Structure 1
Amino acid sequence: MKAAISALCLLFSVTYAGTQMTHGLTGKKDTSYSNQSAFKSAVKKYPYIKLVREQTLPEVKEKRDIIYCSREDRNLYLDAFYPEAKGNKPVPAILIIHGGGWRSGSRAQHIPLAQRLAARGYVCFTAEYRLSTEALYPAAVKDLKAAVCWIRSHAPEYNADALKIAALGFSAGGELGAFIGTTNNKRQFESLCSLGESDAVQAVIDIDGTLSFVHPESGEGDDTRSTSAATYWFGYSKKDKPDLWKEASPLTHAGKDTPPFLFINSSVDRMHAGRDDFRSILDQHGIYSEVHTFPDSPHSFCLFEPWFDPTVDYISAFLEKVFK
């Protein structure tokens, strides 16, 4: 009898381990992470911070709510922020990807960053993507690769250089940007909205985004108290599908074809897990990378002053260097 019960328990555990968790697919937007909620949390420890807000800049033109991918179930949107064209020389483009644990957040969170970088001479696009309340990995990856293809296809409309596109992301968006950059033109992540264009980016700016879900430095995957953000995104816990968690890690794909990387980090070490090992791989292949870390800063530092302005400076200087 005991043997039968043990066998039944084993069968149940194997079945459970092989079944993707779908209870996180609520179909409803998770609004728990926003600039305001991040500020409310951070200001307790850093009372001197100021939340950076949208502004109207006379030298920056805007187009909002542009459909970049039409799916059967819904449309995906992006916003464009670009400088007035001066001469015939196209300028680099930047795809800006928001964070929120692959489950929350909004493309509107980085409009101030897009505006400021557009004022520096870059064509910027803030794109939405399907979050884990709507679709599991790798849906978000495919969506953002489709956004790259859209940017490349529509580059002339914004005087953008189709050969100089950077992916810039914060937190989960940093991981996604890094993943896009390390899987340039890999067919398994190709979107139905690719428009026949290359999804390759020529530079990546990773702002406090993990480089590995399975690295010893990673804090993702602890489901002891509640389901972790990454577990929701994958639909499997780390112990049930370690190979999937490894596949989704940018570090796994880093190699000779990886573009130059800029890492801008907070003082929260686990938010850039695997970064040093990632940079070692880039060094082996002679690929440029640089790191800037703000001491005693919160994870969401790039949304606030006094860190916002120097973050813009680091981004601009890096792109000038790699796109010269």
Structure 2
Amino acid sequence: MPVGYLVTVVLAALIAVFCLVRVRGPRLLLWFSYRLGLVFNELPFLALYGLAAATALAFVEGDIDSAAARVLAALALLPAAGFVVVARRGLRAAPVVAAALDEALGPGSATRRRPPLARILLRPVLRRRADVRRVANLAYGDDGRRNLLDVYHHRARPEGGSVLIHFHGGHYDQGRKDTQSLPLLYRLASQGWVCVSANYRLRPASSHPDHLIDAKKVIAWARAHAHEYGANPAAPVFVAGSSAGAHMAALAALTPNNLAFQPGFEEADTTVTAAVALNGWLGPYFDDDPATSPANLAHPDAPPFLIAHGDLDELVDTANTRALVTARRSTSAAPVVYAELPGGHHAFDLFHSFRFEAVIDGIEDFAAWVQADERAGRGKSDR
């Protein structure tokens, strides 16, 4: 029995199971499931490539020379089939996102696009684009590296772009600005957007409302400085976030110009045009104060939302997400696009995958609808 090949097949089988099934515990198993799943659930082709290479090498080196070894080679087809299922789930994201857009914004709101196959299959972890420049570590506050942000803009600095601000996740106690949703930031920047990704103060040194105050400071900074990188001074400002960052983005969008969260910069405009929440925790903050739950802050003038969440998210259940969708739709005429992604785990926004590319397509279509709505003079006047 070829021991090295046996280890490879067993490991591939475990990874396939972690991708296909939502694991909630025990803690150690959840840790492995989350860490392995966030890579291979989005990039199952990497596992298929590795399993195929290991099988080919075992045959070439003559290790498949016994009945047991031949049975093991046959069993390798099981995790391979599992990764095919994982890939098919990722492909299902595109029609799900399109249906969510059409339901919330009207038929024909979704644009059919071909996924970038070469990027997804061959270089999914390379997020940078040659036509985009990243300006790193600009200060927006006084709290050192936790109050730094990065700006992504087209090297040609075309004028008139819109603005997207992104907040990273990490349970409010970890994470940094240059790790999440980079495929989104680079794609929009390559199309003339000015994108901002910001650090913010973390627990336990800081707590609510410190994070939200930082979010407001970033919005104020973008309104004051984004035009220096090509944005229209009156451009729509979209706020987005992943996981805990989605909670921040939702709170910021639902508390425009709330002076309680703008100490020392009360005159700044912290309204946003729309919000995007990806795999977000959208319930109350850690102290369970109902006032920190976005669902309890929904109001008639709330801006449009796009929310995307995986139906197999092992860290954040969909219950709070659906509660926010229901609350928003019942209190405001502004649309809420909600896409529950088949087979999606937590942190699906790290790589160029079929799932996240479909979500980015949806964000582009959502943004185009919001901008057209604003230009038509509807926007807030009808909400």
TM-score (norm 1): 0.72
Offset of residue 41 of structure 1? 4.6
Return the alpha-carbon distance in structure 2 between the equivalents of residues 160 and 37 of structure 1. Answer: 41
Runs of 4+ deviating beyond 4 Å? 36-39, 43-47, 49-52, 84-88
Q: Which residue of 2 aligns with 1:311?
A: 359
Return the alpha-carbon distance in structure 1 between the equivalents of residues 327 and 358 of structure 2. Answer: 27
Return the alpha-carbon distance in structure 2 between the equivalents of residues 59 and 211 of structure 1. Answer: 35
Any idea what the Cα deviations from partners look like across 1:209-232, whole Å, max 9, x if unmatched? 13323xxxxxxxxxxxxxxxx53x
Offset of residue 191 of structure 1? 4.1
Offset of residue 61 of structure 1? 2.1
Return the alpha-carbon distance in structure 1 between the equivalents of residues 146 and 282 of structure 2. Answer: 29
Q: Paired residue for 2:187, among 116, 119, 129?
A: 116
Residue 300 of structure 1 pairs with residue 353 of structure 2: no
Matches within 5 A, 1:87-166: 88=159, 90-110=160-180, 111-161=182-232, 162-166=234-238
Q: Paired residue for 2:152, among 65, 81, 93?
A: 81
Offset of residue 57 of structure 1? 1.7
3-state SS in 1 of match to 2:334: coil
Q: Which residue of 1 aligns with 2:369?
A: 321
Offset of residue 74 of structure 1? 6.7
Any idea what the Cα deviations from partners look like across 1:146-196, whole Å, max 9, x if unmatched? 00000000122022234410111011111111111011111111143x383
Classify 1:308/1:45 alpha carbon distance in 2 versus 1 (closer, same or farther; 3 Å): closer
Offset of residue 42 of structure 1? 3.2
Return the alpha-carbon distance in structure 2 between the equivalents of residues 189 and 37 of structure 1. Answer: 37
Q: How many residue pairs get matched?
A: 259
Q: 1 or 2, which has the higher strand percentage?
A: 1
Q: Which residue of 2 aligns with 1:48?
A: 44
Offset of residue 252 of structure 1? 1.2
8 Å CA contact 1:80, 1:125 repeated in 2: yes
8 Å CA contact 2:240, 2:276 repeated in 1: yes
The more displaced of 286-295 and 176-185 is 286-295
Q: Which residue of 1 aligns with 2:79?
A: none
Residue 264 of structure 1 pairs with residue 291 of structure 2: no
Residue 207 of structure 1 pairs with residue 251 of structure 2: no
Q: 1 or 2, which has the higher helix percentage?
A: 2
The more displaced of 259-268 and 106-115 is 106-115
Classify 1:58/1:317 alpha carbon distance in 2 versus 1 (closer, same or farther; 3 Å): same
Percent identity at matched positions? 26
Offset of residue 87 of structure 1? 5.7
Residue 251 of structure 1 pairs with residue 295 of structure 2: yes
Return the alpha-carbon distance in structure 2 between the equivalents of residues 42 and 137 of structure 1. Answer: 28
Q: Which residue of 1 aligns with 2:95?
A: none
Offset of residue 282 of structure 1? 3.2
Task: Structure 2 unaligned segments of length 5 or more: list them.
Answer: 1-31, 47-122, 373-383
Between structure 1 and structure 2, the one with the greater Rg is 2
Offset of residue 125 of structure 1? 0.5
3-state SS in 2 of match to 1:42: helix
Offset of residue 256 of structure 1? 1.1
**Structure 1 counterpart of 2:346, which letter?**
H
8 Å CA contact 2:147, 2:199 repeated in 1: yes
8 Å CA contact 1:101, 1:172 repeated in 2: yes
Classify 1:298/1:181 alpha carbon distance in 2 versus 1 (closer, same or farther; 3 Å): same
Matches within 5 A, 1:27-42: 39-42=35-38
